[in-house]
Amino acid sequence: MTSTSTGPVGPVDSSRVPRYAGPATFARLPRLDEVGGRADVAVVGVPFDTGVSYRPGARFGGNAIREASRLLRPYNPAQDASPFALAQVADAGDIAANPFNINEAVETVEAAADDLLASGARMMTLGGDHTIALPLLRSVAKKHGPVALLHFDAHLDTWDTYFGAEYTHGTPFRRAVEEGILDTSALSHVGTRGPLYGKKDLDDDEKMGFGIVTSADVMRRGVDEVADQLRQRIGDRPLYISIDIDVLDPAHAPGTGTPEAGGLTSRELLEILRGLSSCNLVSADVVEVAPAYDHAEITCVAASHTAYELTTIMSRQIAAGREGK
């Protein structure tokens, strides 16, 4: 691991230790315990997929993303930043949630997130299914108040219940609105597409305050215009970004539980995120990576780069805050 007497501990030097050797922490970064239990950005896994409504397997997503992240390098030319030198980023391991009790799992994730945020870290969470976004948002809202939300997904995830269950991967953002933990003046879905149960789905979603940028909108208007629209909607509010990897077209992300045709390319997703680098990103997640369906690790590679861009944004902002910019 690289470090200086005053700077962060960085990833293993891949010119000295082959990428395929050693433990698969995110981007080959140090574990949280190796940096004294404190980090500016904590990368944490939540191996939980009991809330899915179709194909399971996202419980294995976090570690698969970590394996794919072995190829990440310490300098991000797209953002002209070395994120692991700007802030201490560390792998905080996994939050062990009960796979047989969704309500208990939600409480466990929230409590663990509370502990990480109390240490001063921002969270970069690797899922797991989208159920986990609710407890993560609860925790972030305790620290920042109601937060702006950018939700990248093929689906709305604002349905009421599935089979009578309130906590599933299709309901987290309805619960979050009901609980008052989202700033309803700054909510957006990005990349939505595909059939719905009925027009009421869209009507209910609009009443909650969500704006929608469909995948077709991104194609027609382009990433720069979309990113500009999102920046204006968010302003300087504390922002949480939640990314369901199925926002990508199945050609770019086959390894997910509920794929939908007509999605974003991985390039479009990364470019939109880079266009949000000036936003006040307080935490983020990447979820619904199901490696059992992932041909040649296409999905895991896309997810690892997505998490890398989000981590870079947070690291840059942390460094700028220290410099008083």
DSSP state of 171: S
**318's tokens:** 């942390």
State what percent of residues in the chain have pLDDT above 90.
96
Residues 295, 158: Cα–Cα separation, whole Å:
30
The answer to the question of whether 244 is labelled as a binding residue is: yes
Question: Across residues 72-97, what is the average pLDDT?
Answer: 98
Exposed, middle or buried, 31 (CB in 10 Å: 0-12/13-18/19+)? middle
Query: Would you state the pLDDT for residue 36?
Result: 96
CA distances from 130 to 158, 257, 259, 262 (A): 11, 11, 14, 21
Sorting pLDDT into bands at 50, 70 and 90, what band is 1?
A: low
Question: The tokens of 188 are what?
Answer: 């957006």
Whether the pLDDT of residue 2 is over 70: the answer is no
Query: Can you give the pLDDT at residue 3?
Result: 47
Residues 31-77 have pLDDT tens digits of 999 999 999 999 999 999 999 999 999 999 999 999 999 999 999 99
> Which pLDDT belongs to residue 81?
98
pLDDT given for residue 296 in this prediction: 93
Whether the CA torsion 305, 309, 187, 240 is positive or negative: it is positive
Backbone angles phi, psi at 160, to 5 degrees: -85, -60
pLDDT, residue 323, reads: 84
pTM of the model: 0.97
pLDDT (0 to 100) of residue 324: 81
Mean pLDDT throughout 143-156?
A: 98
- Over range 184-213, report the average pLDDT: 98
Query: Any binding-site annotation on 115?
Result: no
pLDDT at 5 over 60: no
pLDDT for position 325: 67
Could you confirm whether domain 26-322 is CATH 3.20.20.100? no
Provide, for the chain, the percentages of residues in helix, strand and coil under a 3-state DSSP scheme, each rounded to the nearest 5. 40, 20, 40
Rounded distance between C-alpha atoms, residue 187 and residue 141, angstroms: 14
Mean pLDDT of all residues belonging to the chain: 97
Closest CA to 140 of 113, 169, 177, 176: 113
User: What is residue 316's predicted lDDT score, i.e. its pLDDT?
Assistant: 98
Residue 153 assigned to a binding site: yes
Residue 246 in marked binding region:
yes
